[in-house]
Amino acid sequence: MSSIKNTRILDVLNGLPVDKTPVWIMRQAGRYLPEYKETRKKAGSFLGLCKNPDLASEVTIQPLRRFDLDAAIIFSDILTIPDAMGLELKFEDNRGPFFDKPLSNSDEVNSLDPNNIAKKLDYVANAIVETKSKLNNEVPLIGFSGSPWTLSTYMVEGSATKDFRKIRSAVFNNPEMVEKLIEKLTFSITDYLIMQAKAGADVLMIFDSWGGLLNSENYLDFSLNPMKKIIANLKSNEGTKNIPIILFTKGGGSWLKQISESGCNAIGLDWTTNISYARETIGENISIQGNLDPCALHGTEDSIKNAASRVIDGYGHGHRHIFNLGHGIDQFVKPEKLGILIDYVKEYSMQYHLS
Ligand code: CP3
């Protein structure tokens, strides 16, 4: 068994008391940090960085050198799985990640290979092993994957698009294709997350960044149910049955109750849903992660503290809150501002954890 020193996040996920509200930040390793840009230059490219365990573990650790964070998240990307399945992932600086040949019919979906993901993505396992060693058990390490639906959106669109018309239409005009794709991804993602846990990840998070595109029944069929299957697979696997799982659907505010019944240990909340309302809706047996508006970090010191207080007060007394943003930190944030936020969360939240 591991003997991690700072267990706040694990404690919150397991329903145990903590002294302060723990905090980590989505995309905490990223372009807002000059040292990240430096290492990325050394790697030559974004994908080069993802595939180099030495440098990927270096950027994973960088934000922990600056800030009092309660977890690290392995540096990688959700689009490594489609890459490993045969859709070649490319990256351009002013465009982000994309696929040259997105999926357009069932034959193309049938030709994807969902097998041996763990082997094909062994660079992620190696980065986890190396990061665990560098972390020296100070804080837990979060592993992650995209959700089947969210990966499908990128695989059919080719990249993030304005209105995601192709994939949203496919749900109606070619549901068999989308179902087949989701089935393959569900299989590969399970394998991938088990691999990450074996390599040393202490928590697993599923990013359903585009679940909020779906109408309410289709969200359940195409996004939540496949994620539930993954969670059930993980909970019934010897290597992952005790690993806490965080499920984040961006735009998922209308399905909180259903998400809370998925088997996950925590719900990631974006900034559009009121956190008190979320807590009332899901009850006390599950944790909430979130949900500061990422743009709050562009405010003054006072306005940052004010916005953070609202989230912490909104949750109120109790131990099942992990402070985070409602989505990833953007590249234009000044690192000092994030430092102000993190220190303030620690200090201000103590009042809610006195016994
Ligand atoms: O959180 C972390 O620090 C860990 C690393 C991480 C990255 N991507 C690094 C990254 C994680 C957890 C992700 C997940 C991811 N990737 C998601 C889900 C989370 C979310 O934001 O909703 C999605 C949708 C992607 C796909 C992706 N990767 C996009 C759309 C982009 C371009 C947009 C952007 O922010 O640049 C990326 C690139 C990316 N992934 C960067 C980083 C640090 C920026 C790359 C760079 O230029 O160096």
Domains and CATH numbers, the chain: 8-353 (3.20.20.210)
Question: Which one from 32, 36, 154, 344 is the annotated catalytic residue?
Answer: 154
Nearest alpha carbon to residue 170 among 147, 149, 145, 146: 149
C-beta of 60 in contact with ligand 1 (< 6 A): no
The Å distance, Cα 165 to ligand 1 centre, comes to 22
Nearest CA to ligand 1 atom 33: 96
Dihedral of alpha carbons 57, 323, 231, 150, sign: negative
Residues 42-52 pLDDT 10s: 999 999 999 99
| One pLDDT digit (tens) per residue for the chain, 355 residues | 569 999 999 999 999 999 999 999 999 999 999 999 999 999 999 999 999 999 999 999 999 999 999 999 999 999 999 999 999 999 998 899 999 999 999 999 999 999 999 999 999 999 999 999 999 999 999 999 999 999 999 999 999 999 999 999 999 999 999 999 999 999 999 999 999 999 999 999 999 999 999 999 999 999 999 999 999 999 999 999 999 999 999 999 999 999 999 999 999 999 999 999 999 999 999 999 999 999 999 999 999 999 999 999 999 999 999 999 999 999 999 999 999 999 999 999 999 998 6
d(CA 252, CA 242): 25
Q: What tens digit of pLDDT does each residue of 279-334 get?
A: 999 999 999 999 999 999 999 999 999 999 999 999 999 999 999 999 999 999 99
Give how far Cα 11 sits from Cα of 39, 140, 344, Å.
33, 11, 21
CA 148, 261, 204, 69 dihedral sign is positive
The β-bridge partners of 297 are: none
Per-residue pLDDT, 242? 97
Residue nearest to ligand 1 atom 43, measured at CA = 30
Measured between alpha carbons, how far is 107 from 109 in angstroms, rounded to an integer? Answer: 5
Given a contact cutoff of 8 angstroms between Cβ atoms, the answer to whether 153 and 200 are in contact is no
- One-letter amino acid at 24 equals W
Task: Compute the distance from residue 79 Cα to the ligand 1 centre, in Å.
Answer: 9
